Amino acid sequence: MLRAIDFHGLKGVEFSKGEYTALLIPEMGANLVRLANTRLGAEILRTPGPGEIETFRSRPQVFGLPILFPPNRIADGRYVFEGRTYQYPITIERERNYHHGVLKSEAFLVSKARETDREVMIECRYYANAGNDAVYRDFPHEFKCKITYRLTAEGLEQEVVFFNRSETRMPLGVGFHTPLTIPFAGGTDADYVMRLAVGEEVELDGRNLPTGRRLPLSEQFSKLRREGLQVTGCGPIEAGFTLREIDVDGKPFRGALVEHLRTGARTCYEVDEQTTYWTLWNNGGQVPYCCPEPQTWTTNAPNAADPAAEGFRAIDPGESWRTTFRLYAK
């Protein structure tokens, strides 16, 4: 099934395949605001309700699959690359930081949409140029961002591609502020734990910026690699981590999973080799979601002592870069 719908005043695209149903809002960052597994009764992502649309418009990062470009924070909203200064507005006054980028709120175009026996595919595109001031003003590169969703009986695959259409090398850092619903299929917060492919903890200062120090995992966060950690109905969590695969069912797993301890049902979020860093955030711990946020670079990487070691990269003129994610329940 593939159809256009009205979603509380926003133009949406609803689609389903097998046991999965999804809802995409192209005009808000091509955000996939709903993914559900109907057999399990599992709502995988946090979806805005009828009374939350204005919140979604102002804070799209706490719903669905919002793209962060660049991800997380930039100290003082400023960095220098190849002699060019990039200056962004301060969005967190108390920290003097810029955060989360603007693509999450920009309107994408649906460039392709088709259904076959195997999958539903929807492709969305955004073009940044001198006539598109919202992005180009602070990031003066002409580029194209393409986000493609493929829904099959196995779940959702998301591909993100950036094309550098400018004449200079384009800095690139991408992340997703993914709020996974907990509880996702009944029960209480205590029935659920999250496991996450973390390696070391990245020490953060009072501005939530990395200090440059890597720390061994605390006893609390070591649970993310082992039996799992309760991340909702608990205290606040805001932490940064390097990525290291964990073992799940005897296989290496690169991502996050949330498990219902009584039923064994899981929601799973897999990332590829482009992801090198996680931010884990539960918005105070008393909300029905927690965000394992995959990032291609460490927070504030452009200002690090060794940016390349923190995942900072650039795309040459005429070149492209891509990353893929998978999201499913079982």
Domains of the chain and any CATH numbers: 2-329 (2.70.98.10)
Identify which of 279, 276, 294 has the alpha carbon closest to the alpha carbon of residue 231. 279
Identify whether the C-beta of residue 13 lies closer than 8 Å to the C-beta of residue 121. no
CA–CA separation, 177 and 56 (whole Å): 13
Structure tokens at 15: 């689609």
CA–CA separation, 221 and 39 (whole Å): 32
Identify which of 327, 239, 225 has the alpha carbon closest to the alpha carbon of residue 281. 239
Place of tokens 């004449």: 167
CA–CA separation, 61 and 261 (whole Å): 28
Q: Residue 112: what are its φ and ψ, rounded to 5°?
A: -150, 145
Identify whether the C-beta of residue 182 lies closer than 8 Å to the C-beta of residue 289. yes
pTM: 0.96
Residue 202's DSSP bridge partners are 214, 240
| Ordered per-residue pLDDT tens for the chain, 330 residues | 999 999 999 999 999 999 999 999 999 999 999 999 999 999 999 999 999 999 999 999 999 999 999 999 999 999 999 999 999 999 999 999 999 998 999 999 999 999 999 999 999 999 999 988 889 999 999 999 999 999 999 999 999 999 999 999 999 999 999 999 999 999 999 999 999 999 999 999 999 999 999 999 999 999 999 999 999 999 999 999 999 999 999 999 999 999 999 999 999 999 999 999 999 999 999 999 999 999 999 999 999 999 999 999 999 999 999 999 999 999
Alpha-carbon distances, residue 53 vs 125, 128, 276 (angstroms):
23, 26, 32
Helix (H) and strand (E) counts in the chain:
3, 29
